[in-house]
Amino acid sequence: MDLNLSGRVAVVTGASKGIGLAVTRTLLAEGARVVATSRKPSQELDELAGPDLVHFPADLMDPEAPAALIAHAVEVFGGLDILVNNAGGPPPGVTLPRGSFMDATDEQWRMMFELNLFSVVRAIRAAIPAMLARGGGSIVNVSSGNARQPSPINVDYGAAKAGVNNLTKVLAGEYGPQGLRVNTVSPGPVRTPLWTEEGGVADLIAAQAGIDRESVLSSVVPEMMKLATGRLADPQEVADAVVLLASPRSGSTTGADLAVDSGFLKEV
């Protein structure tokens, strides 16, 4: 299926690995031009180098960084059609999962919201004028199943992502008449470096359970989280949903939240 993305300009945050890397790779394959941002590049992102890819190094917790990112995309490629707010998760120095609500300090709450909500707000604020100048566009915010399924071990993260979902609904209503669509994709557990790398979530659970990392990923987490598919999602599966929502082929979809979560969410 042709997603009609050839020549369109996209910004992807958190693009150096995991879901963001998969989104960047997929957009390029569909003919889009991409400004990919992360604190630093990665070997996998460098392997995608070409005339249609620009890396913009930035720490999106810096209040000035999101606007600078959008301005750079407009300067390099002449405009903006797609914004994928993927950067998120625990900020530097913060480890998830927690033991309980009481384990998160005020400063950790602030940092979590800076990365997972406020950076999204700032990027969207900067992107809207550029998108409206081209007649509209698509914003896809990568949220989380924890936005709708509260968890005491991820309480600050879930609260920030719930804010992203609320923001998305508001923006979809306000800007839909001007041709700007805004949606969320909510992953469950995904085989990204957050889970799989040394010292990641799987290692933390493995240390508590006295088992190995692969057992955590292949059986313990799917059973613990009651994943209907029996496995963690692949980053590409999330990226496919993101890029479809970014595409004009989803022209009547706005204000939606698409779960790509292996059946994690059970409520109607």
Give pTM, 2 decimals.
0.96
Structure tokens at 128: 């809207």
Are both 158 and 199 inside the same structural domain? no
73 and 201 part of one domain: no
- Is there a single domain that holds both residue 154 and residue 103? yes
98 and 129 share one domain: yes
> In this structure, what CATH number is given to the domain that contains residue 48?
3.40.50.720
Q: What is the DSSP letter of 94?
A: -
- Looking at the DSSP assignment, which residues form a beta bridge with residue 140? 84, 183
Q: Which of 223, 221, 145, 132 is nearest to 182 (CA)?
A: 132
Q: pLDDT tens digit string along 185-215?
A: 999 999 999 899 888 888 988 888 899 999 9
Helix ranges (H only) for the chain are: 18-29, 43-46, 65-77, 106-113, 119-132, 155-175, 193-196, 201-209, 213-215, 221-224, 235-246
Which of 157, 175, 195, 264 is labelled catalytic? 157
Question: Is residue 198 classed as helix, strand or coil in its secondary structure?
Answer: coil
What pLDDT was estimated at residue 103?
93
204 and 79 in a common domain: no
Residue 167 in domain: yes
* Same domain as 118, residue 38: yes
| Type and span of the H or E element at 116 | none
Polymer length of the chain:
268
Among 23, 61, 68, smallest CA distance to 45 is for 23
Same domain flag for 45 and 174: yes
Distance from C-alpha of 34 to C-alpha of 32, rounded to nearest angstrom:
6
Give CA–CA dist 191/232, Å, rounded: 6
Q: Which domain holds residue 227?
A: 189-232
Is 33 strand, coil or helix? strand
For 229-249, letters b (16+ CB in 10 Å) and e give: eeebbbbebbbbbbbbbbbee
Per-residue confidence (pLDDT) for residue 200, from 0 to 100: 87
157 catalytic? Reply is yes
Low-confidence residues in the chain, pLDDT < 70: none
In a domain, residue 267? The reply is: no
Give the pLDDT confidence score for residue 209 in this predicted structure. 83
Q: Are residues 56 and 172 in the same domain?
A: yes
What would the two tokens of residue 42 be? 């990665």
Same domain, 215 and 184: no
Same domain, 208 and 174: no
Burial of 67 (0-12, 13-18, 19+ CB in 10 A): middle
Predicted pLDDT at 46: 97
Residue 266 lies in a domain: no
Domain count, the chain: 2
262 is a domain residue: no
Predicted confidence at residue 93, as pLDDT, reads 87
Looking at the fold, whether 152 and 205 belong to one and the same domain comes out as: no
Q: What is the CA angle 198-54-45, rounded to 5? A: 25
Which amino acid, residue 77? Answer: F
